[in-house]
Each structure stands twice: as C-alpha cells, then as structure tokens.
Structure 1
Amino acid sequence: MYTLPPSEYTFPNPMEVDPDGQGLICIGADLSPSTLYEAYSNGLFPWFSEGEPICWWSPEPRCVIRPQDYHPSKSLVRNMKKLDYKITINQAFDHVIRACALPRSYADETWISEEIMEGYCQLFDAGYAYSIEVWEENKIVGGLYGVTIGQGCFGESMFSTRTDVSKMAFYSLMLLGQENQLPWIDCQLVNDHLMSLGACTLSRQTYLNSLQDVIKQPPIDWKKYQDSVFSSKTIAQFSQLVE
C-alpha cells in the first residue's frame, strides 16, 4: 500500500447539499484513484451510465451488513460442501471487475465502463481495493470486488457463471469481516435480497459518523490472505447450520 497523491477535488458534505435525502450529491470530477479514495472517505460512490456525466451518490438510508449478522442459506452451505470450488483473495482483481462489467441476462447494459475499470484497478494497485475469486479447476466462475480504507469495507459488484458461486464469495467476505472484527460492510443501496441475508439500514448521518471512525482504524492485512487457496468445503464448515 502506498500513499495516494491529494485529490484535485473536494467533495461536499452530503447532509448539507442534500437535506431531502434524494441521494445524488454532485456531478463531475474524474475516476482517478485519488478521487475515488476521497469520495469513499466522505461516504460517496460513483454510479452512472456510460456516456453520462459522473454522478456521486450518498443514499438515505444506507444499507450495510454487519458480518456477525450474516445468515447463509442452507442450500448455499450444502452446495459449498458438495461442490469443491477453490476461493482466493486478491489474486485476479482485473479479471473479476471485467467479468462484473459484462451484460447480465436481465440487462443489456452495464454501468462499469472502461474508465471505471481503469480507476478501480489503479485503486487496487495502491492497496485500497480487494477481490474475492471462486475457481472451478483453473477457471474463475464467480467473484466480487470492492474498496477498502482502514476498517471500512465497501462492496461494489459481483458475478457468477455457476449456481451460488457469487454467494460463496460473499460468504467468504463475511467470514473475513468477522475475523477482522469489521463493524459493517457497506452495501450502498437497499434491496430485499441483501435484507434477507442479514443486512440493515443506517441513517445517512449515522453512517457518515461511523465512517469517519472506521477509516482511521488499522487496515485489514490483505497480504496474509492473498497467497492462500481456500476450499468451499472448508469454508462451509464455519456455518452453524445443520443439514
């Protein structure tokens, strides 16, 4: 990890510019790693369609999941025990983000542009992003990526080409969060699926207050994980569920 140069941009306080809680805070800037770092440190993230100006969001309320509250499904645990996938951390960030950028079966377009991929890959090279990969033999079949600052862990996107493999990556992230006593993992926007997994909502002000504390804490030592290969069968043993 190295120190990023100061960002050219100063982001506004979301509470001051968006008192009605619409979520859109500002438009413009760029997607350099310094700008991304500054944005996440202030509770913002980029979300826009290709060809549109860069939009920075801070939703009200904020969706987070506390790792200790995560509840893997029984079917997921069974599949992890039955199908012996390999799981790694930070071994193929570029592959994961590019796979997340591919069109999905339910949508022809993606918001993850080349500009976004370049910015987050540079952020990863600087030590402020992470990925989790799921492998079937020598092929990546699922995974997720996000941003990490101090003890702040921010989820961005995931993908899968086999049943449940993105959920396996998510479960692995929850275990990593438990081991490192992370207070929450940011899920950004509320949806029913996340809530069914144990996510909750925080008011924007509560989230912003917590954020300023967690990003100042000692960061996760990602290097101690990135040379390891974990078995989905082994990870499934951590579940308290009984088949």
Structure 2
Amino acid sequence: MPILPPSEFTFPDPVECDPEGEGLICIGADLSPSTLFEAYSHGLFPWFSEGDPICWWCPEPRCIIRPQDYHPSKSLLRSMKKMDYKITINHAFDTVIRSCSLPRSYANETWISEDIIQGYSALFDAGYAYSIEVWENETVVGGLYGVNIGHGCFGESMFSTRTDVSKMAFYTLMLIGQENQLPWIDCQLVNDHLLSLGASTLSRQQYLNSLQDVVKQPSIDWKKYQDSVFSSKTIAQWASLSA
C-alpha cells in the first residue's frame, strides 16, 4: 500500500470540540488524498453543498453495519440468481462516483460535486478507495464506492438504474467484509434505507475507540477481487469470492 505524504491539516478531536453531538466538527482544509486519509483516520468525513466551504462531520450516533450480521433478503437472492448481471470490483470507479453524483428522483441537488469527484478519484488512485460495479452487458447499471484504511471500510454512496442492483453491490461489499473479518462498515448517517438493510448505531465515542484499532490493521487485498468478473448468480452463493 502506498504511503501518502502527511496532511497539511490537523483535525480536532470530535468529542472535545462538539460536546453537544451536533456533528459538524470543523470547516476548511482541502480534499487532497492526504487530507481525506487524515480525516477518515480520525472519524471525520466531508459533507457540504457545491459552492460552500468544506465541512467535516462526525455524527452522534454513528451508523454502521456489521458484515457478519448482514443477511440478504430472499427476494434479493432470487433476483441475483434470476438476472445475469456481472459484478466487478474497482473496474469503473469514475463511472460509479459520477453516477452517484447525478440528481435522484427525490432530490434535485447532490453533494457529490466535481471537487468531491476529483478528491476521491485521487484517493482511489492512491489505493485508499474502492468501487463495486454491477453491469448489464457493457453498461454499469448500479454500484457503490467508499474508502478503505486498514480494516476500516467506509461506505460513501450508491446508485442504481435497475431494480435491486445497488443492493447487489451492497451484498457483495458485505461478503468482502465477512471474508476479511471487518468489524463494521461505516454508513455515517442513520436513515431508514440503511436500517432496512440491517444497519445499527454506535455512540460516537464507541465508534472512535473502535476506529483507532481498525485503521492499524492490514488493508483489504482488493487485487484479489478486482482481477475477476463475477456473475450475480454465483455471487449470491459466495462461491466465486470464497474459492
């Protein structure tokens, strides 16, 4: 894993500077790979509207999902076995993050600006971000992207243009998390959709305590997965990834 140069910025302790648990920790800095690495290593992530200054958050409570506790629905498994989608890892990061940046049916705006895209793309090139893609023929129809530092896996966003395909990418991430014995995958903010997938919460202090241990562990060997193309039919049974 490449070593990034030290960040020019030092982030404050979230608990000390935000005792009320409102979540906003600080404003400023940049979105360079070193700064993003420093922020995630200390429990912060950027979230702001285009044109606004960069805002760094560490919410109370923290939404996480434990891969070992995740169980896909029977309907999702039926869909994966029925449809002949292909699933890849780290084959089309730019396509995924740009697809995630598009406005949704329930919102006209997106927080994934061009600056965010450039920052996370550079982090991907440095080896600290990942993407999972679901393909229909030669088109990416769903997927997700996130950050990985040690055993810390941080989900950022997902998208789909076909029924259940973002859930297929999410299930693939859970399987990777299970195989690598990740204690949790960070989902950041609580929402009903994540809770429906099996997410739960940790207090901010519990999350930060756990984070300091997991980021010191070996990182996921993404090359193990990215050299292959998987069928949704076989991924549903974990046979392809566990071989």
> Under TM normalisation by the shorter chain, which class is it?
over 0.9
Matching of residue 93 in structure 1 with residue 93 in structure 2:
yes
Matching residue's letter, 1:49 = S
Indicate the RMSD between aligned Cα atoms, in angstroms. Answer: 1.0
Question: Which residue of 1 is the match for residue 226 of structure 2?
Answer: 226
Matching of residue 33 in structure 1 with residue 30 in structure 2:
no
3-state secondary structure, aligned to 1:225 = helix
TM-score (norm 1): 0.97
3-state secondary structure, aligned to 2:226 = coil
State the 1:24 CA deviation: 0.3
Question: Which residue of 2 is the match for residue 124 of structure 1?
Answer: 124
Matching residue's letter, 2:200 = C
In structure 2, C-alpha distance between the alignment counterparts of 1:90 and 1:72, rounded to whole Å = 22
Question: Which residue of 2 is the match for residue 109 of structure 1?
Answer: 109
State the 1:72 CA deviation: 1.3
Name which of structure 1's ranges 141-150 and 102-111 shifts more when overlaid on structure 2: 102-111
Matching of residue 2 in structure 1 with residue 2 in structure 2:
yes
After the TM superposition, list the runs of 4 or more consecutive aligned residues in structure 1 that deviate by more than 4 angstroms. Answer: none
State the 1:61 CA deviation: 0.4
In structure 2, C-alpha distance between the alignment counterparts of 1:5 and 1:238, rounded to whole Å = 37
Question: Which residue of 2 is the match for residue 149 of structure 1?
Answer: 149
3-state secondary structure, aligned to 1:177 = helix
In structure 1, C-alpha distance between the alignment counterparts of 2:71 and 2:7, rounded to whole Å = 38
How many equivalent pairs are there? 239
In structure 2, C-alpha distance between the alignment counterparts of 1:3 and 1:60, rounded to whole Å = 31
Report Cα offsets for 1:128-182 as digits up to 9, x if no partner.
0000000001111000000000000000000111011000000000000000000
Question: Which residue of 2 is the match for residue 163 of structure 1?
Answer: 163
Contact 1:149 1:215 survives alignment (8 Å): yes
Question: Which residue of 2 is the match for residue 71 of structure 1?
Answer: 71
Matching residue's letter, 1:126 = A
3-state secondary structure, aligned to 2:76 = helix
In structure 1, C-alpha distance between the alignment counterparts of 2:196 and 2:94, rounded to whole Å = 30
Q: Superposed, which structure 2 residues align to 1:189-200 within 5 Å?
A: 189-200=189-200
Gaps of 5+ in 2: none
Matching residue's letter, 1:124 = F
3-state secondary structure, aligned to 1:181 = coil
Gaps of 5+ in 1: none
Matching of residue 210 in structure 1 with residue 210 in structure 2:
yes
3-state secondary structure, aligned to 1:9 = coil
Report Cα offsets for 1:73-105 as digits up to 9, x if no partner.
221111101001000000111111011011111
Question: Which residue of 1 is the match for residue 183 of structure 2?
Answer: 183
Contact 1:69 1:199 survives alignment (8 Å): no
In structure 1, C-alpha distance between the alignment counterparts of 2:145 and 2:120, rounded to whole Å = 9
TM-score (norm 2): 0.97
State the 1:237 CA deviation: 2.2
In structure 2, C-alpha distance between the alignment counterparts of 1:20 and 1:128, rounded to whole Å = 31
Name which of structure 1's ranges 201-210 and 73-82 shifts more when overlaid on structure 2: 73-82
3-state secondary structure, aligned to 2:109 = coil
Question: Which residue of 1 is the match for residue 43 of structure 2?
Answer: 43
3-state secondary structure, aligned to 1:102 = coil
